[in-house]
Amino acid sequence: MREVRVRFAPSPTGALHIGGVRTALYNYLLAKKTNGTMILRIEDTDQGRFVPGAEEYIKQSLEWVGIKIDEGVTQGGPHAPYRQSERKPIYRQYAQRLIDEGNAYYAFDTEAELEAMRNRLKATGSSNQQYSTTTRMMMNNSLTLSDVDVKKKLEAGDPYVIRLKVPDDEEIQLTDLIRGEVKVDSAQIDDKVLMKSDGMPTYHLANVVDDYLMKISHVIRGEEWLPSAPLHVLLYRFLGWEKEMPQFAHLPLLLKPDGNGKLSKRDADQMGFPIFPLNWTDPKTNELAKGFRESGYLPDALINFLAFLGWNPGTEKELFSMEELVAAFSIERIGKAGARFDIQKAQWFNQQYLKAKTDEDLSSYLFDSLAKENISCTKEKAVKICTVMKERVTFTQDFWLQGKFFFEAPTSYDAQVISKKWNDEAIKVLAAYSKEISNSTTLTADLAKSILESVTTTLGIGTGKILQALRVSITGGASGPDLMMTMEILGKEEVVKRIEYALNTIKKPA
RNA sequence: GGUCUGUUCGUCUAGGGGUUAGGACACCAGAUUUUCAUUCUGGUAACACGGGUUCGAUUCCCGUACAGACUACCA
């Protein structure tokens, strides 16, 4: 059994898409499960699409979700460099070898000529408009030109690409760990460009060369790569690496929550959920895309959710820590069909993970929000707030968003409660209640309750009838955490102040 | 258009020749909570279609439909 070495190989063209995070996750899970090695390789062979900051963003995202890299651009390793642009000379020699052995050729066609060829084929109703075995002899390349002409062009510095010479009619077969045997007729594969005119390799060449040199054992990537997998098999064969060829596993795609197609940033924007792990500001447009982290998701919850999009352990257990995922993971249990992205399930996972944390841990999220608002708070108070709030939050920032009233006295009051519950009885009780509280030395939840009961009993008014009025006077809202605990946290002075203020400002409904 | 891949409740999925087709999210109802949330209980809801093979097919095979991916000097 060969040592497991897997790689996550994104290209730094922007923020890391959530589907990419899942691909990285599955690679990571296999690596950890088998005591293997997780490699991060940056595929930056397209200089035109390079986006500054993207590589850093990818690394930070992986770190945030807890995917640790063993070998890669920052960690280094025995096969450095791990950035393809820095490996440029390596690819050249393999391309040359393919040419020397007659498996690749130079092509000098201009973009206009290629365009014309496609149009010509389209006009004749051809089902296949590719640069391939059927068309290559009509083009401007080292197969049609004389050796002298080719040499002349090369020496003159004419721009050229190197294309793979795909065999005529051959069945190419590969075994995909998820899909089984996949067969493709080589006539369907076009003569893919291996080296671009700028001297950089294309994905196909770079990916095969690097996977071989880096001794990659499993290529786990998105299903969008399945159609080009036979081409890669061909490259392994021509390069004489068939025995070392990695095993392939093509992952089902992440689909839009509704409608058809694969999940895109547009869908996320439209439905109001993030699609990137962290906030991302596009350097060109300056547009900010919200991240899962900044939207209040916990990395463990995101990972758990993502792991279950296309994979499941076959048991009824659903909450898995990263360690548990590692233990349970297997490629065989990855599904074949695309998975719709259901943000509601992600929210449920987040809620579960939030609830599982200690109140003390939770308080750090509250402190994060408070720091942004420039509000100070004692640790003790923050923990207490989290205790009463934890059953009702979905996101980390909800402690603040839903618990603002712990720090700011209400300035407006829920209109519905006022119109229904703010009556003479309520006003009478509240006035007496605030007086009683100010007479007591301190205020605990128990005390708040017993004082309220004694006041209502004395006045002969049911407690339930005025509770909503009391809440609205203290929090401004119609619902919230346990009111007695809320008053305890607020403290005697504040409670009295708020009730008095409400009594003085709220007008009785007509 | 061509090639490849896929199709079990609305969603994520389990299952697999004979099952009351299981779970979770969401949804609905009830209970608890003198609010809301939580929690608990219950409920609605699925094998894309047509042919085979078989005593029997949701499960195996073949078609069809639908969906997706790919079809760049992008990855």
CB of A296 closer than 8 Å to CB of A395: yes
**Does the pLDDT at position A510 exceed 70?**
no
Angle, helix A88-100 to helix A203-213, in steps of 10 degrees: 100
**How confident is the model over A210-267, as pLDDT tens digits?**
999 999 999 999 999 999 999 999 999 999 999 999 999 999 999 998 867 888 888 8
In this complex, the residue with its CA at the shortest distance from the C1' of nucleotide B68 is A261
In this complex, the residue with its CA at the shortest distance from the C1' of nucleotide B24 is A318
Q: Tell me the CA–C1' distance in angstroms for A1 and B47.
A: 38
Measured distance CA(A469)–CA(A502) in Å, rounded: 10
User: Where does residue A321 rank: exposed (0-12), middle (13-18), buried (19+ CB within 10 A)?
Assistant: middle
Provide the pLDDT confidence category of residue A103 given band limits of 50, 70 and 90: very high
Mean of pLDDT values over A335-341: 94
Measured distance CA(A412)–CA(A281) in Å, rounded: 36
CB of A283 closer than 8 Å to CB of A52: yes
What is the percent of chain A with per-residue pLDDT over 90, rounded to a whole number?
Answer: 86
Sign of CA dihedral A181, A184, A185, A190: negative
The mean predicted confidence, pLDDT, of chain A is 94
CB of A495 closer than 8 Å to CB of A483: no
Pick one of 3.40.50.300, 1.10.580.10, 3.90.800.10, 3.60.10.10 as the CATH number of A89-195.
3.90.800.10
pLDDT at A99: 97
pLDDT at A270: 86
Other CB atoms within 10 A of residue A248 CB: 21
Q: Tell me the CA–C1' distance in angstroms for A179 and B60.
A: 17
pLDDT at A124: 82
* Distance, CA of A327 to chain centre: 22
**Does the pLDDT at position A350 exceed 60?**
yes
* A89-195 and A409-510 share one fold: no
Secondary structure element (H or E) that encloses residue A8, with its range? strand A5-8
**Does the pLDDT at position A378 exceed 90?**
yes
Nucleotide in closest CA–C1' contact with A187: B3
Residue A415: what residue type? Answer: A
Nucleotide in closest CA–C1' contact with A230: B4
Q: Tell me the CA–C1' distance in angstroms for A485 and B30.
A: 28
**Does the pLDDT at position A29 exceed 80?**
yes
In this complex, the residue with its CA at the shortest distance from the C1' of nucleotide B34 is A464
pLDDT at A197: 96
Pick from A498, A492, A472: nearest CA to A483:
A472
**Does the pLDDT at position A133 exceed 70?**
yes
**How confident is the model over A483-492, as pLDDT tens digits?**
999 999 999 9
Measured distance CA(A41)–CA(A319) in Å, rounded: 31
Mean of pLDDT values over A458-475: 92
Q: Is CATH 3.40.50.620 correct for A5-75+205-255?
A: yes
pLDDT at A489: 95
Other CB atoms within 10 A of residue A451 CB: 18
Nucleotide in closest CA–C1' contact with A471: B35
Sign of CA dihedral A192, A214, A20, A234: positive
Size (chain A), residues: 510
Which nucleotides of chain B are near protein (any atom < 7 Å from a CB)? 1-8, 10-15, 22-26, 34-38, 67-75
**How confident is the model over A418-428, as pLDDT tens digits?**
988 898 999 99
pLDDT at A465: 87
- This prediction has a pTM of 0.95
Nucleotide in closest CA–C1' contact with A222: B69
Q: Is CATH 3.20.20.105 correct for A265-355?
A: no
Mean of pLDDT values over A407-414: 92
- DSSP string over A181-215: EEEEEGGGS---EEE-TTSPBPHHHHHHHHHHHTT
pLDDT at A262: 85
Pick from A88, A87, A59: nearest CA to A75:
A59
Pick from A293, A341, A286, A283: nearest CA to A13:
A283
**Does the pLDDT at position A202 exceed 90?**
yes
Top pLDDT among A258 and A189 is at A189
pLDDT at A416: 87
Measured distance CA(A328)–CA(A91) in Å, rounded: 38
pLDDT at A126: 80
Provide the pLDDT confidence category of residue A509 given band limits of 50, 70 and 90: low
Q: Tell me the CA–C1' distance in angstroms for A72 and B35.
A: 55
Which residues lie closer than 8 Å to A371 by C-beta, 6 or more apart? Answer: none
**Does the pLDDT at position A315 exceed 90?**
yes
For A372, the token pair is: 């942004």
What are the strands, taking DSSP E only, across A295-378?
Answer: 339-340
User: Where do the structural domains in chain A lie, given as residue ranges?
Assistant: 5-75+205-255, 89-195, 265-355, 357-408, 409-510
pLDDT at A2: 87
Domain A409-510, what architecture? Orthogonal Bundle (1.10)
Catalytic residues of A: 265
